[in-house]
């Protein structure tokens, strides 16, 4: 199993930070690492929301379909997916931090198939790359959140 944890502080209240991070319909325009993001379900974002995102990772197109499996407004949410023989879980936890907010993002990749288990050492070597991608996404979102903190 591979885990990556990052924490990011935003100079905006938790409610604003949560709203921006869960606004999947506008994520493509806000996160430079996304080539596209399509919400596949109707209605408000929450448990059961499915979406497909496309990224270019290490020169190759990576397409993943994910689902929100937990959703507590202002507190956190979890996104899960299965791909390439592994189960992926990304958990976001929101907390007040002075006059701003802090988001902890934990990514876990659990191999399910024999081949994915064999490739686990390679995932361990990719932790730095994953951390860099996750941090860049958060920095992109910081521009949106802090640029309009009063909105």
Burial 102-140 (b: 16+ CB within 10 A, else e): bbebbbbbebeeeebeebeeebeebeeebeebbeebbeb
Name residues whose C-beta falls within 8 Å of residue 141's C-beta, 6 or more positions apart in sequence: 10, 20, 21, 30, 31
Look up the CATH number of the domain holding residue 29: 3.30.530.20
User: Residue 75 sits in which domain range?
Assistant: 2-147
Beta bridge partners of 88: 81, 109
- Number of domains making up the chain: 1
Angle at 142 between CA 140 and CA 148, to 5 degrees: 115
Per-residue pLDDT tens listing for the chain (151 residues): 788 999 999 999 999 999 999 999 999 999 999 999 999 999 999 999 999 999 988 788 889 999 999 999 999 999 999 987 789 999 999 999 999 999 999 999 888 777 777 776 666 667 778 889 999 999 999 999 998 544 4
């Amino acid at each position: 199993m591979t885990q990556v944890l990052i924490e990011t502080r935003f100079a905006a209240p938790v409610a604003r930070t949560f709203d921006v991070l869960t606004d999947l319909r506008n994520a493509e325009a806000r996160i430079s690492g996304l080539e596209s993001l399509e919400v596949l379900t109707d209605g408000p974002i929450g448990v059961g929301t499915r979406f497909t995102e496309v990224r270019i990772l290490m020169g190759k197109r990576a397409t993943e379909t994910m689902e929100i499996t937990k959703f507590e407004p202002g507190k956190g949410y979890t996104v899960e997916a299965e791909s390439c023989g592994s189960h992926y879980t990304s958990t976001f936890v929101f907390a007040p931090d002075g006059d701003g907010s802090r988001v902890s993002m934990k990514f876990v990749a659990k191999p399910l198939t024999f081949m994915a288990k064999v490739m686990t050492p390679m995932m361990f070597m990719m932790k730095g790359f994953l951390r860099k991608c996750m941090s860049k996404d958060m920095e992109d979102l910081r521009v949106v959140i802090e640029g309009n903190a009063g909105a």
